[in-house]
Structure 1
Amino acid sequence: MSLRSKALALVEVLLRVPPLFVVDEFLKISLGLPVSSGEEGSVLSNITVDGVAVDISDPDVNYYDANFYNAFFFTIVKFLVCCLGCMSALCIFVLYTKHLIIVYLYLTSVGLVFVSYWTNVSAIKQVQALTLVENSPHHSTSILEDILNLNIKNLIDVDGPGILVIQNYAIQFLLAVIFKYVHLGPRYSTIQKLLPISFMAPSFLAMLPVPPNLLHHSPVFSALLPLLLVKYVLWSSAYNVIQVVYAGYQHGRLFVSNYGLSALVETEWMRLNVPCVLRVFWVLRVAEHALMLLVDNYDEEAEEGLKVSTLLAVQSLASMTKSLLVTGCETITAVLGMTSVISFFCHYIGNFFQWILLTDEEEDKSIGTVSAILFYILALQTGLTSLNPEKRFIRLCRNFCLLFTALLHFLHNIVNPMLMSLSASHNPSTHRHIRALGVCAFLIMFPISLLVYLWSQHTISTWLLAVSAFSIEVIVKVIVSLMIYSLFLIDAYRSTFWEQLDDYVYYIRAFGNTIEFCFGIFLFFNGAWILLFESGGAIRAVMMCIHAYFNIWCEARAGWSVFMKRRTAVNKINSLREASPDQLNRLDDVCAICYQEMHSAKITRCNHYFHGVCLRKWLYVQDRCPLCHDILYKIEADGNKDNEGNEDNTNNQNLLLEEDPELLLGEGVR
């Protein structure tokens, strides 16, 4: 991407940031709803009547009181206005760039009119205050008189009206020039020439000996012409605005009908560059707060006249960091911005470990997206925005710990296939083995260090138990991967076929899956305790249902299915005849499945020889002979048994990969 393209992309991102600040400000005031402070969050149930907060859930409240009715009505109106403001800001956010520029030009022109008006008002008030004071040297004199009398002293007096008028004249001239180029009204030459005169009229009148009332009202008359242009643009563009909104609605409805809602969301997400916009918004928001904190600290130090020691500077920096983190997640928009920043860092953490492992899988690059979704779900589940600052910081740190443990699980998902590939394919590259083993060592040492620190610094709690369960689970998963990796390495250096390898790998995986299943049940009960006795919520309940279905029920059903299919395959294999050494010597052939020498074999009904382990794995997929496609297993007393395997063939196609995807390479199956 060229420098010009990058600059244009940055400008487009910056153009979409202000609407987020508008939404954020509305959310800071809770959309105009009254908020009562509580330990665990905000309760939107109080209305202020005559300066006193009244709980509307109180049965003794007089709902027919006039003051209560007016306060309630005002609260509803303020809430509706805030909602309308949020919706307008979001509509501006999703506009195309050309429409967004038009909106900003119009808002800039409106802002220039009001800035000009308030600047004129301020300057006229100061000029009148100086010229009307009896003891002032500028009393009963006008600036025009000073100019005609060449009274340079009064003209250049810093506290005199001359400097004020000159400053206001320069400001108004600059505002007039900018307004001429940005306003969207009719650009007739007469109007364009009158605009500077209109902006600077109060400055001209301040130089003349005009009546005070006329000078006092001159800013109002000077703003009439630009205001007329602004209102003309607003009324004349109303139909175009409606057309743009309707065209956007039509486009969205047509897109959804053709491609679906998810495709529309994905397309708009990419067009608006939402992650980058959220990151810029959050960084600017935090930078603004940091600047305010620095100014406050500087003012306090200047007043006290103290020399700040290194320890105090470090403490001040830690306090400021804590304050920035707390304010950085006080609203939903702020949480979204922090989520985007976390996604950005997690993405590069994943890239770093991919660089260590020398892998470039596309699926492994989703670590940033997964981390963002997890952090945002944790924020909603724990009610992060509704907590008071101290509890919010504690909860944020706990969420970060949970996120780190989840990140470790994702890193294990990256390194596990690498370990299996290196060992099963007999990869001779030593440095790749060392890199993978180094990451595994990190995935064991870091959770242990984290657990030691957390258990030494915190008392037992549901949050600590959850972090411990996730950490121990990742340690168990890494140990299981290393054990299977070791078995494959041993098999690689064996000169004969290792028939028990499949059983050993199955037992190790079954042990690891059982531990994970037990931890899943433990986490479910831990979450149920939190839901019932600590902090409930609809989001937490929904997440518990999702966890119970996917991580407990589906895993239990899949594990039981694998166990039953494996047991069935073992029974089928045991029913076949075992080949004798003489038969194997006369055959003098290799297994048609793995192409390895046969020191032991099973004989099928169609008189073909295969390794028992290879044939068992083949039965996971289908019940027919790999060579002649005759049925391998048949019970004469029940003819329906012939069709059971055929009916289950489609469902069994992925069983081998589901139970043991690496054994295809480890055993040499092609």
Structure 2
Amino acid sequence: LVAMAVWERVEAVLNVGLRVPSIMLLEVLYRWDVSSFFQKIQRSSLNNNPLFQYKYLALYLHYVGYILSLVLLTLPRQHLMRLYLYVLTAVLLFAGHQLSRDYVRSELDSGYEGPLYLDPLSMNRFTTALIGQLVVCTLCSCVMQTKQIWLFSAHLLPLVARLCLVPLETIVFINRFAMILTGLEVLYFLASNLLVPYNLAKNAYRELAQVVEVYGLLALGMSLWNQLVLPMLFMCFWLVLFTLQIYTYFSTRNQPPSRERLLFLFLTSIAECCCSPYSLLGLVFTVSFVALGVLTLCKFYLQGYRAFMNDNAMHRGMTEGITLLILSVQTGLIELQVIHRAFLLSIILFIVVASILQSMLEIADPIVLALGASRDKSLWKHFRAVSLCLFLLIFPAYMVYMICQFFHMDFWLLIIISSSILTSLQVLGTLLIYVLFMVEEIRKAPVENMDEVMYFVNGTYRLLEFVVALFVVAYGVCETLFGQWSVMGSTIILLHAYYNVWLRAQLGWQSFLLRRDAVHKIQSLPTASALQLQQYNDICAICYQ
């Protein structure tokens, strides 16, 4: 069972890893503008340039590359592994050809045609080439899973000829013959498998037609999504792209960058890695997985392994990924220059991080309040809850401070930072209620009017949230009246005023009216006398205790 589980993991890794090059090829084809390439050739040389004459052929091959990439992306795992093994065999045969050619050249340079055992240098070259060719033949036999090792031993002919004291000029022709023989073997193999792509396409079309007919297009899409593991695939592709970008930067720099330079390097590297739809999708899925990891760590930090028993489907990281995708599409991120894309990404990532912090607060808030009310004496649990709340209180404020250092304050920036300010206010309210619970626990006696105190605390930070939203609207109105007016800005102000000011004011006023009615009803009840309390044994009207 363990071996089967390990093999399933290996197959899952191969299913993702073997498809990454196909998306890399799509990325390269998207970045390569064939028309601009040939226009540069036309401007830099005469019209009779051979490359320019084959312009339409290159365009045709460009689109064929797209089709080939999509085929490799959707190819079943077994056939994909077999294809990579064939490519590896071709690379090994090419390596054998290079070894044979280098050996023949070295023999021609030495000019020695006598027996090998009389010349140590010739014997050393022969032994090295022989070992290399045997390794190549063995690897080809293992990769192709055949015992007919002689099929891959054509490059041994020059070595056999040299061992038989054949003249060096003849060995050159024997080496060429070995190359031709290997090429004929490859052509025969390709010809014998010429109908394999057609058969695969026919079988795939038949299976797709059956699935669509029975289950519909939605089921087909979900099946392909699960089989190709697209989120993990695009995340791995983007991480490879980002790693290559970082490696390229550091390999061309001798001095280590400063802290500010590291931040700029991080943003520009991300900007370089989202200049196409494929890399943008990779960034979206990467952000989703990072958000999922952060939220999972938050749950584990607060509750330990018990957090995984009651998993909440709302905190899966998809909200942050979708937010990044929508903002990137709306702002035309991939169409901008790298430096502009980096600055825009800093704002988008700020919004994404603010969303992650808000999700962390949604996870922590009920746990912290339940911990304060449960009278749990575990100091470690209380430390984890309070430390996380302090982090959620300080870090959003630090983010607001940092982004205000880089950008000039305007209405749009105020809307962006308002979410972080509201997060800090909500955490502050949660901490105050937690402190009230702990004070009541320490006193070992119920605090009089605790319900009113908690209502006052909740009302205070709700009022502060309303003030922040009202300030954002007021700032936007002032900027619209005395600054630059735009339809988009006015629309955002109206929406913000309706949803975050008017509706919030209505909910707050309704809550106040309901609270006032409840207080009036409680005050209308008669006060129990000491005799009544003794007669009813001081039983609570709610819990009867």
Residue in structure 1 matched with residue 398 of structure 2 by the alignment: 449
- CA displacement at 1:203 relative to structure 2: 4.3
- CA displacement at 1:561 relative to structure 2: 8.3
Corresponding residue to 2:64 among 67, 81, 85 = 81
Per the alignment, do residues 225 and 10 of structure 1 end up closer, same or farther by CA in structure 2, a change over 3 Å counting?
A: same
Is 1:155 matched up with 2:107? no
Residue in structure 2 matched with residue 406 of structure 1 by the alignment: 355
What code does the residue aligned with 1:107 have? V
- CA displacement at 1:48 relative to structure 2: 0.9
The alignment partner of 1:16 has SS state of helix
Residue in structure 2 matched with residue 91 of structure 1 by the alignment: 74
Show CA shifts across 1:542-595 (max 9, x none): xx999998x88777897688679879989999999996749x89xx89xxxxx9
Show CA shifts across 1:328-382 (max 9, x none): 4455444444555544544443344334433724128835444444444444455
Per the alignment, do residues 408 and 571 of structure 1 end up closer, same or farther by CA in structure 2, a change over 3 Å counting?
A: closer
Residue in structure 2 matched with residue 103 of structure 1 by the alignment: 83
Contact 1:347/1:365 (CA < 8 Å) preserved in 2? no
Per the alignment, do residues 153 and 88 of structure 1 end up closer, same or farther by CA in structure 2, a change over 3 Å counting?
A: same
Is 1:511 matched up with 2:463? yes
- CA displacement at 1:413 relative to structure 2: 0.9
Cα distance in 2 for partners of 1:576, 1:193 equals 96
In structure 2, list runs of 5 or more residues that go unmatched.
534-538
What code does the residue aligned with 2:196 have? S
Corresponding residue to 2:423 among 470, 474, 485 = 474
Which deviates more from structure 2 when the two are superposed, residues 437-446 or residues 359-368? 359-368
Per the alignment, do residues 235 and 343 of structure 1 end up closer, same or farther by CA in structure 2, a change over 3 Å counting?
A: same
What fraction of aligned residue pairs are identical, expressed as a percent? 15
Which deviates more from structure 2 when the two are superposed, residues 15-24 or residues 461-470? 461-470
Show CA shifts across 1:5-32 (max 9, x none): 3465145414532432332243234264
Residue in structure 1 matched with residue 114 of structure 2 by the alignment: 146
Cα distance in 1 for partners of 2:475, 2:143 equals 60
Cα distance in 1 for partners of 2:338, 2:439 equals 56
Contact 1:350/1:364 (CA < 8 Å) preserved in 2? no
Cα distance in 2 for partners of 1:294, 1:497 equals 63
Corresponding residue to 1:253 among 163, 188, 212 = 212
Per the alignment, do residues 293 and 369 of structure 1 end up closer, same or farther by CA in structure 2, a change over 3 Å counting?
A: same
Cα distance in 1 for partners of 2:271, 2:458 equals 48
Cα distance in 2 for partners of 1:523, 1:9 equals 55
In structure 1, list runs of 5 or more residues that go unmatched.
37-45, 54-65, 158-162, 302-311, 590-594, 598-666
What code does the residue aligned with 1:201 have? L
Contact 1:146/1:154 (CA < 8 Å) preserved in 2? no
Residue in structure 2 matched with residue 51 of structure 1 by the alignment: 42
RMSD, aligned CA = 5.4
- CA displacement at 1:81 relative to structure 2: 2.1
Aligned pairs for 1:269-348 within 5 A? 269-288=225-244, 296=252, 312-313=255-256, 315=258, 318=262, 325=270, 327-348=272-293
Per the alignment, do residues 233 and 122 of structure 1 end up closer, same or farther by CA in structure 2, a change over 3 Å counting?
A: farther
Corresponding residue to 1:230 among 178, 189, 210 = 189
Corresponding residue to 1:354 among 299, 314, 322 = 299
Contact 1:364/1:414 (CA < 8 Å) preserved in 2? no
Cα distance in 2 for partners of 1:468, 1:69 equals 53
The alignment partner of 1:146 has SS state of coil
Contact 1:357/1:435 (CA < 8 Å) preserved in 2? yes
Per the alignment, do residues 433 and 519 of structure 1 end up closer, same or farther by CA in structure 2, a change over 3 Å counting?
A: farther
Aligned pairs for 1:31-46 within 5 A? 32-34=32-34
Residue in structure 2 matched with residue 465 of structure 1 by the alignment: 414
Cα distance in 1 for partners of 2:439, 2:110 equals 102
Per the alignment, do residues 515 and 476 of structure 1 end up closer, same or farther by CA in structure 2, a change over 3 Å counting?
A: farther
Which deviates more from structure 2 when the two are superposed, residues 484-493 or residues 211-220? 484-493
Aligned pairs for 1:485-504 within 5 A? none
What code does the residue aligned with 2:166 have? L
Per the alignment, do residues 183 and 557 of structure 1 end up closer, same or farther by CA in structure 2, a change over 3 Å counting?
A: farther
Aligned pairs for 1:193-212 within 5 A? 194-205=150-161, 208-209=166-167, 211=170
Q: TM-score, normalized by length of structure 1?
A: 0.60
- CA displacement at 1:327 relative to structure 2: 4.6
Per the alignment, do residues 77 and 255 of structure 1 end up closer, same or farther by CA in structure 2, a change over 3 Å counting?
A: same
Aligned pairs for 1:552-571 within 5 A? none
- CA displacement at 1:400 relative to structure 2: 3.2
- CA displacement at 1:224 relative to structure 2: 3.8
- CA displacement at 1:218 relative to structure 2: 1.7
The alignment partner of 2:414 has SS state of helix
- CA displacement at 1:446 relative to structure 2: 1.9
Residue in structure 1 matched with residue 138 of structure 2 by the alignment: 177
Structure label with greater radius of gyration: 1
Per the alignment, do residues 420 and 577 of structure 1 end up closer, same or farther by CA in structure 2, a change over 3 Å counting?
A: closer
Greater percentage in helix: 2
Contact 1:326/1:389 (CA < 8 Å) preserved in 2? yes
What code does the residue aligned with 1:23 have? I
Residue in structure 1 matched with residue 536 of structure 2 by the alignment: none
Which deviates more from structure 2 when the two are superposed, residues 349-358 or residues 513-522? 513-522
Cα distance in 2 for partners of 1:215, 1:284 equals 43
Cα distance in 2 for partners of 1:458, 1:345 equals 26
Show CA shifts across 1:432-475 (max 9, x none): 55643443332222222333333345433566434422221212
Cα distance in 2 for partners of 1:389, 1:482 equals 42
Contact 1:420/1:485 (CA < 8 Å) preserved in 2? yes
What code does the residue aligned with 1:177 have? T
- CA displacement at 1:321 relative to structure 2: 6.1
What code does the residue aligned with 1:404 have? V
Per the alignment, do residues 218 and 573 of structure 1 end up closer, same or farther by CA in structure 2, a change over 3 Å counting?
A: same
Cα distance in 1 for partners of 2:14, 2:476 equals 43
Show CA shifts across 1:265-312 (max 9, x none): 556555544454445444444555555556555xxx7xxxxxxxxxx4
Q: TM-score, normalized by length of structure 2?
A: 0.71
